Amino acid sequence: MRNVTISIDEEVARWVRVRAAEHDKQPRAHEWLAALWHHRCGRTSVQVLNEYYVTVTRKLEPGLTEEEAWADIDSLLAWHPLAADAALLRRARTASQRFALSWWDALIVAAAQTCRPPPDPSVAPVSETALTP
């Protein structure tokens, strides 16, 4: 998987932490994230991390504490999340129009298209959380 990047959406991270309804997805999400850490090819965006934080601290019942959610995000910062900039917004607009996507989905598609391998392939998780191997 050298020079390959795989970008995750908020749902993949959330499924690792799910405590109820979608529990059948939890083992697959754990396997997926473990493989991304092992091969050092996981990527995400700041938007996804923002969505994750809000979803797991305010929308899930029961949700995570802010400290638990931050620990998860802190570990995923090792993936050098892509920030929104003018180029990303333009790419998202094109994707939104071309594929009739919502704005939020278009931003995720544009970020995934833009992601490159992390600058330092030896980057390891900073902290141990449910989102790290």
41 within some domain = yes
Residue 82: DSSP 8-state: B
The reported pTM is 0.79
CA of residue 28 relative to chain centroid, distance: 15
Q: Is the pLDDT score of 126 beyond 80?
A: no
44 within some domain = yes
Three-state secondary structure call for residue 112:
helix
Q: Is the pLDDT score of 93 beyond 70?
A: yes
Average pLDDT, stretch 86-107?
94
Average pLDDT of the chain to the nearest whole number? 83
Residues 18-50: tens digit of each pLDDT: 665 556 788 888 888 999 988 888 899 999 999
CATH of the domain at 71: 3.40.50.1010
pLDDT at residue number 20: 56
40 with 79: CB under 8 angstroms?
no
78 within some domain = yes
Number of domains in the chain: 1
Report the chain's terminal Cα–Cα distance, integer Å. 18
Structural domain for 92, as ranges: 6-114
